[in-house]
A and B are shown apart, each in its own frame.
Chain A
Amino acid sequence: MNSEITKKFLKIIVLILLISYGLDKLVFYSLNKISDKVMTGQAIGKLNHFLSIKDSAEVLVFGNSRANRHIDVKLFNNNSYNMGIDGIGIAYNSTLINTLSKTKKQLVLVHIDTKNLFDADYDGSDIRGLKAKYNRNLTITKALDESGQLSVLQKFYYSISYNGNAIGILKNYFKPSYDYIAYDGYDPITVSNDQKSMRDAFLSNYRDQVECKENHKINEIALGYLKSIAIFVKKNPNKRFIFITSPIFNDDCSVDNKILADKMLDLGLNYKDFSNLYKNNSDNSLWKDATHMSQKGAESFSKLLLEKYAHLLF
C-alpha cells in the first residue's frame, strides 16, 4: 500500500469516525428530547412515568409480567403505581428500587419469581432495559456500568441506548397508547371466549407436569441483586417492604420455594410465598395460562394481599 493509498484510507476512516460520532450525538440528543415526553408504552414510557411519580407515590409494586398482571395496586391506595414489566428480572428491579427517595414514606411490594432466581442461565441482562437512562440518571448509570451488560461501543456511540426502541418512542410520541395520567401500571388480562377452551385444554395437560430439579441453587447474579435490595431495605427505615411470589398454576416442586424462603429470612426480608394459593382450586377462570392469572384471579389475589398487608400502609 503506497503512501497515497494509506492517506486515502486514513481519510475515509477518520471521516467515518467523525461523521458517525456527530450523527450519533444528533440522534441521541434528539431521541432524548422526544423520549422525555413519552409516557406510554412498556419500553420507555412506563419507565419515564415511574421516574416522574416514584417519589410521590404511596405504594409501589416491582416485578415482571406476573407482578404487572397480578397486583391491582389501586386497591391499596389511589396514589400508587405498578412498575411490573414484561420479561424483566431482579437486576432491573433492584436498580429501580435503588433510585427511590430516602425520605418518602412508602409501601414497596416486590414480586420475586423463583424461576428467575433459580435460573442457572440468568445473567442480569434485563438491566439493559434501562439503558435509555444511561448517562442520564446517576443510579442507573452506575448500576449499568457495574453490570458489565453494556456494549463497549456504547461509550462512543450513545444512540445504542435506544437500540430497539426508537420506533416505539416515535410512535408513542405522536400517538400515545393510552391516557397515562389515569394509568396506574396494572394490566389485568381478560380471557376471551375463544381463548377459554384453548386455556382449559392447555391447563388440563399441564396439571400432570411435575418439574423439580435436584440441587437447587440460587443464581449468584440474581442473589447479588437481591442482596443489593436487602441493603437498601436496611438503610431506608422510612419504607416498608413486602416480598411476595404470586400464585402459579401448578408448582409441584417446593424445594426451590423453601430455599428461597430461607434465604429471604437470612437477609431479613419480609417474604411470603403465594405460589400454591390456588393449588386446590379447580376453577380455571382464575387463570389466563399456567403462569399468569386472569383478571378474576388477579383481583381475588390483590384483595387477599390488601387484607394481609393493609396494616403496613402509611
Chain B
Amino acid sequence: MLFNSIEYLIFLPIVFILYWLLNNNYKNQNILLLISSYIFYGWWDYRFLSLIVFSSFLDYFVGMKIEEAISENRKKRWLLVSLCSNLGLLGVFKYYNFFADSFASSMSVLGWEVNDLTLNIILPVGISFYTFQTLSYSIDIYRGQIKASRDIIGFFTFVSLFPQLVAGPIERASNLIPQIENKRKLDTNLIKTGIFQIFIGLLRKVAIADNLGVYVDSVYANYDIHNGSTLLVATIFYAFQIYFDFSGYSDIAIGSAKLFGFNFNRNFNFPYFSKTLTEFWRRWHMSLSFWLRDYLYISLGGNRKGIIITYRNLLLTMLIGGLWHGSSWNFVIWGGIHGLFLSFEKFTFSALKIKTFNAFGYIYTFIIVLIAWIFFRAADFSSASKIILEIFSFNYDSLFIGDINSFVNALLLLSIGVLIDLKVFKSNVPLENYGTRYSTLKLSVIVSVVIIMLCLFYSSTENFIYFQF
C-alpha cells in the first residue's frame, strides 16, 4: 500500500479510530498495529510476509539468547546467527543476481564462458530497511546497550510497524521498543505536528518530486540526444526530485506515526544547506547514515586506528552504503564518490586545522552531490559517463523544454519547495515540530491550501524512488 494512494487514505483513519478505541490496553493496540502492518505490507505481496515473520522471529529469539549467554564467545556466536541469517536473506533476494552476473562477466573477461547463473528473483519491498532495523537490535543487545524484548507481539510490531516498514526511517530499538512496550498518549502537539507533516510530505512527494520526475525521466530516457545544458538541468531536477520524494515519504511516515502516539527520529534536515559533504551526511537520510556510522564505521575501527585506517573505513562504509541502495555498480560508484570526498574533507580539515568550509562550501557540496547523483540515476556506468562528459564539455546549447506545461509546473513547484525549506530552515524549528507554531484555524487553512495544491498539481507517478531499495 502506498502512502499516496486512495487505499491509504481509507486505511489510515480506520486503523486510527480502532487504535484509539483500544486506548485502555496498549497490548491490544499492538495486536491491532501488527495486523494492520501485515495488511499494509501484504497489499503489495502477501507472500513476502513470511520473510518479515521469519526475520522477526529469528531476532526475537536470538536477542534473548545473546542476553542469556554466559560467555562472550556464546554471545558472539548468537550474534553471528543473526548477522548471517539477516544478511543471507538480503544477499539472496537483493544481491544474488548482481554477484552472479558480475562473476559471469569477470570470467568472460578472463576467457571463460560461464552459463547464466541469474535467477528470477523478486526483490521484496522494504527488505533492506527492516533487515537493518532487526540487525541493529541484535547488535545493541550484544553491546549491552539495550535489553532483549520479552514481548513477542511488541517485538514483531517493532519490526513491521507500518509507517516505517517499507522505506524507513530505520528506527533503533532503543527508541521504538520502549514506546511500543508502554502506553502511548496522543496530545494536541502530536496531532498538529502529525497532520502538518503528513500534508507537507504529500506536497513534497506527489506535487514537487513527481512533477520534477516527468522532466528527469524524459531526458534520462534519451540522454544521448540531449545537450549539456539539458542534462545539467535534468540532473539538478533529479537532485531535488529524489530529495523531495524521499523526505516527503519520511514526512508522511513520521507524521502518520505521530497520530498513533509514536515519535520517530528525524530522517532529513535540509541536506542541500550543507557546507561540507560531512555535514550533508549528517542531514541526508539520517537514519541510514547514523546506522552506517554506528554499526559499520565504528565496528571497523572508526578513526581510532590511525589516519590510513580511518580513510579506509570511511571509503568502505560509503561503498557498502552505496551497495545497500541497490545491486548495481553505479550505486557502488555513487558511494565511492562520497567516500573519497569525505576522506578528502577529513584530510583537509586536519591539515588546515579548520572545522568547515566558508560559504563556497555550499556550492562545492552541491556539485559533488550532483555528480554522484548522475551515477545514482543513470541506467548504467556507460550512460552515466556519457552524461558527465556531455555536461563537462560546457557546450551549452538551447535547453530542451519538452512539454512546456510540465516544465513550468516543475519549476514553479520546485521554487515553492525550496521556499518552504528556506523558511523552516531559517526558523531553527525542525519540520517535525513546525505544526505546533500554528493555531488550529491557521493549521487548517495551511493544510487546506496544500490540499488544493495537490488537486491542481499532483502527478500520476505512483511509486516512491526508495521503494526499489
A binds B: yes
Q: Is B188 a contact of A5 with CB atoms below 8 Å?
A: yes
B409 — which chain A residues lie within 8 A by C-beta?
A: 164, 167
Question: A53 CA to B449 CA in the complex, in Å?
Answer: 37
Q: Is A27 a contact of B440 with CB atoms below 8 Å?
A: no
B418 proximal to A (CB < 8 A): no
Q: Is B447 a contact of A16 with CB atoms below 8 Å?
A: yes
B247 to chain A, nearest CB (A): 23
Interface of A, secondary structure class, is: helix
Contacts A5-B187, A160-B455; is A23 near B405 (CB within 8 Å)? no
Question: A216 CA to B447 CA in the complex, in Å?
Answer: 49
Q: Is A16 a contact of B448 with CB atoms below 8 Å?
A: yes
Bitwise, A104-122 to B at CB < 8 A (1) or not (0) is: 0000000000000000000
Question: A290 CA to B20 CA in the complex, in Å?
Answer: 61
A24 — which chain B residues lie within 8 A by C-beta?
A: 451-452, 455
Question: A80 CA to B451 CA in the complex, in Å?
Answer: 41
B405 — which chain A residues lie within 8 A by C-beta?
A: 43, 164-165, 167-168
A213 proximal to B (CB < 8 A): no
B81 — which chain A residues lie within 8 A by C-beta?
A: none
Q: Is A157 a contact of B457 with CB atoms below 8 Å?
A: no
User: Interface residue tally of chain A, by bracket?
Assistant: 20 to 34
Q: Is A8 a contact of B191 with CB atoms below 8 Å?
A: yes
Question: A157 CA to B225 CA in the complex, in Å?
Answer: 41
Within B433-452, the residues touching A (CB, 8 Å) are 440-441, 443-445, 447-449, 451-452
B464 to chain A, nearest CB (A): 19
A92 to chain B, nearest CB (A): 16
A152 proximal to B (CB < 8 A): yes
- Write the chain A residue with the least CB distance to B190: A5
A50 proximal to B (CB < 8 A): no
Q: Chain B: how many interface residues by the 8 Å CB criterion?
A: 31
- Write the chain B residue with the least CB distance to A6: B20
B443 — which chain A residues lie within 8 A by C-beta?
A: 12
A166 — which chain B residues lie within 8 A by C-beta?
A: 456-457
A11 to chain B, nearest CB (A): 6
B458 proximal to A (CB < 8 A): yes
- Write the chain A residue with the least CB distance to B408: A167
Contacts A16-B444, A167-B408; is A9 near B455 (CB within 8 Å)? no
Question: A164 CA to B444 CA in the complex, in Å?
Answer: 24
Q: Is A9 a contact of B191 with CB atoms below 8 Å?
A: yes
A247 to chain B, nearest CB (A): 24
A167 — which chain B residues lie within 8 A by C-beta?
A: 405, 408-409, 412
Q: Is A15 a contact of B452 with CB atoms below 8 Å?
A: no
A156 to chain B, nearest CB (A): 10
Q: Is B456 a contact of A27 with CB atoms below 8 Å?
A: yes
Question: A171 CA to B412 CA in the complex, in Å?
Answer: 13
- Write the chain A residue with the least CB distance to B443: A12
A163 proximal to B (CB < 8 A): yes
Question: A165 CA to B409 CA in the complex, in Å?
Answer: 9
- Write the chain A residue with the least CB distance to B13: A13
Question: A198 CA to B187 CA in the complex, in Å?
Answer: 64
Q: Is B191 a contact of A12 with CB atoms below 8 Å?
A: yes
- Write the chain B residue with the least CB distance to A43: B405
Within B1-26, the residues touching A (CB, 8 Å) are 6, 20, 23
A159 — which chain B residues lie within 8 A by C-beta?
A: 452, 455-456
B421 to chain A, nearest CB (A): 21
Q: Is B186 a contact of A19 with CB atoms below 8 Å?
A: no
B195 proximal to A (CB < 8 A): yes
B444 — which chain A residues lie within 8 A by C-beta?
A: 12, 15-16, 19
B172 proximal to A (CB < 8 A): no
A20 proximal to B (CB < 8 A): yes
B192 proximal to A (CB < 8 A): yes
B455 — which chain A residues lie within 8 A by C-beta?
A: 24, 27, 153, 157, 159-160, 162-163
Question: A162 CA to B409 CA in the complex, in Å?
Answer: 13
Name the 4 nearest CB pairs between A and B, nearest first: A15-B444, A20-B448, A19-B448, A1-B20
Given known contacts A1-B23, A16-B447, what 15 new A-B pairs fall within 8 Å (CB)? A1-B20, A1-B186, A16-B195, A16-B451, A23-B451, A24-B455, A27-B455, A43-B405, A157-B455, A159-B455, A160-B455, A162-B456, A163-B457, A166-B457, A167-B408
Which A residues contact B (CB, under 8 angstroms)? 1, 5-6, 8-9, 11-12, 15-16, 19-20, 23-24, 27, 43, 151-153, 157, 159-160, 162-168, 171, 198
Which B residues contact A (CB, under 8 angstroms)? 6, 20, 23, 186-188, 191-192, 195, 225, 404-406, 408-409, 412, 440-441, 443-445, 447-449, 451-452, 455-459
